[in-house]
Structure 1
């Protein structure tokens, strides 16, 4: 247990959806920093690593199903570097926020988390809504802009600005998030 959790959001993706062509160029740029953040979190006893992923409407899918579907999708190269280890905390979500209809808030409280680092996709949707829900639950929000992918660059920049201004998010590069 620690006061910091790294949340990896929606990175298990088959990239077989209508926004995939707009999203993948951004994911290509952020996959290495995300993988670095995940690797750093894995090595630290004082950081909790938690994956939260959309179940894409498949309520029978489990973690292994989502990993398999993503690796069998169009861009396994964007999934392989961040596949969750066995035993890592893994929650499924059904809507944009990692908190909505999940046990994430309860889990973070059980872990005595004070600070959440958000990494993943999509900046102007799931990352933004998760940041807001973290903020209203009194978690400190850290956002590495080099570890979040967007569909629309302008909306992604606006979302980062909103998180910084409205949610007091600390904006810091991925490699500096864990000190």
Structure 2
């Protein structure tokens, strides 16, 4: 069984207060198309979306990054065509708040996946070298098979993006493939 985890593709992370910028804008259509394909094939689809509280002095990211993905703000809304896909397929997609880089940390993600017999997960979204990376490491340590669609992940750090893609392959045994040549072909 397969699941797609769409990580942090929100307005704040694409063009907002902590923007990946053009690299994220360029994958908007691929993110939406992969999400639709997984829904159409009846695979589990989970939106793992960063959540922060305004002026939270205890969250470790408060000192590392500007405020972003604050509860009930426009910046926390899904970006671009993915927002439309979510609206059209809301019965096929699960929303999951996360408060750390990894979608597994402090959430019931593993429980959701195990309950559905899922052994293979695919990761898309931003940032390749932060939230995608930490989610992939946790998935590896929990025994999941991992696919990363390299044309559906992006980062504001080009060197970090390339390093993470290599790390997925060499240290996590992940399949790093193009969605355009596999799931969307």
| Alignment coverage as a number of residue pairs | 165
Q: After superposition, where does 1:52-91 map in structure 2 within 5 Å?
A: 52-57=48-53, 69-70=74-75, 77=80, 80-83=83-86, 85-87=89-91, 88-91=93-96
The 1-side partners of 2:123 and 2:107 are apart by 16
Structure 2 unaligned runs (5+)? 57-70
The 2-side partners of 1:42 and 1:154 are apart by 32
The 2-side partners of 1:117 and 1:178 are apart by 14
TM-score of the aligned structures, taking structure 2 as reference length: 0.80
TM-score of the aligned structures, taking structure 1 as reference length: 0.82
Indicate if the aligned counterparts of 2:31 and 2:82 stay in contact, CA closer than 8 A. Answer: no
The residue number in structure 2 matching 1:13 is 11
The 2-side partners of 1:6 and 1:50 are apart by 6
The 2-side partners of 1:43 and 1:116 are apart by 16
CA distance 1:89–1:72, change in 2 (3 Å): closer
The runs of at least 4 aligned residues of structure 1 exceeding 4 Å deviation read none
The 2-side partners of 1:139 and 1:160 are apart by 17
Report the secondary structure of 2:121's partner residue: strand
CA distance 1:159–1:108, change in 2 (3 Å): same
Indicate if the aligned counterparts of 2:37 and 2:183 stay in contact, CA closer than 8 A. Answer: no
CA drift of 1:133 comes to 0.3
The 2-side partners of 1:28 and 1:111 are apart by 32
